[in-house]
Amino acid sequence: MMTKQKHQVVSVGLSGLLMAGLALPAAVAAEPAAAPAVVPAAASVAALELVAYPVAILPFEERGAGAAGMAGKVGDILFAKLVTEPDLQLVDRADLKKTTEELGLNVSGMVSADKAVKLGEFTGAKILVSGSVIEAGGSLFLVAKVIGTETSRVVGASVKGSARDNLVGLTEKLADATAKVIRDRSGELVAKPRTEQDVIADLKKALGDSARPKVAVHITEQHLGRVVPDPAAETEYALLLKATGFEVVTDDAAADVVISGEGFSETAGQFGNLISAKARLEVKATGKNGQVLAVDRQTTVAVDLAEHVAGKTALQRAAAETALRLLPKVTGAAK
CATH code of the domain made up of 195-331:
3.30.160.150
Cα–Cα distances (Å) from 293 to 7, 217, 283, in that order, read 43, 14, 11
- Distance separating alpha carbons of residues 94 and 251, to the nearest angstrom: 44
> What pLDDT score was predicted for residue 97?
80
Per-residue pLDDT of the chain (335 residues; tens, 9 = 90+): 333 333 344 333 333 333 333 332 222 223 333 334 444 433 322 223 335 677 889 989 999 988 999 999 999 999 999 988 877 878 777 777 877 777 777 666 556 767 777 777 677 678 999 999 999 988 999 999 999 988 889 999 999 998 788 899 999 999 999 999 999 998 889 887 778 899 999 999 999 999 999 999 999 999 877 877 789 999 999 999 999 999 999 999 999 999 999 999 988 766 556 677 889 999 999 999 999 999 999 988 777 788 888 899 999 999 999 999 999 999 998 76
- 282-303 as b/e, with b when 16 or more CB fall inside 10 Å? bbebbeeeeeebbebbbbbbbb
Alpha carbon 19 to chain centroid, angstroms: 9
Backbone phi, psi, residue 3, to 5°? -80, 155
At 241 the three-state DSSP class reads helix
DSSP H helices, 71-185, are 71-82, 93-103, 113-123, 167-184
Nearest partner of 75 among 9, 3, 171, 179, judged by Cα: 171
Comma-separated ranges of CATH 3.40.50.10070 domains in the chain:
38-189
Comma-separated ranges of CATH 3.30.160.150 domains in the chain:
195-331
- Between helix 232-243 and helix 307-331 the angle, nearest 10°, is 40
| Residue 82 burial by Cβ neighbours in a 10 Å radius (0-12, 13-18, 19+) | buried
At 24 the three-state DSSP class reads coil
- Distance separating alpha carbons of residues 182 and 85, to the nearest angstrom: 11
- What are the DSSP E strand ranges found in the chain? 38-39, 53-57, 61-63, 88-90, 127-136, 139-148, 154-162, 194-195, 214-223, 226-227, 247-248, 257-271, 274-287, 292-304
Helix (H) or strand (E) holding 196: helix 196-207
Give the max Cα distance, the chain: 74
Superfamily name with CATH number, domain 38-189: TolB, N-terminal domain (3.40.50.10070)
Single-letter code of the amino acid located at 92: D
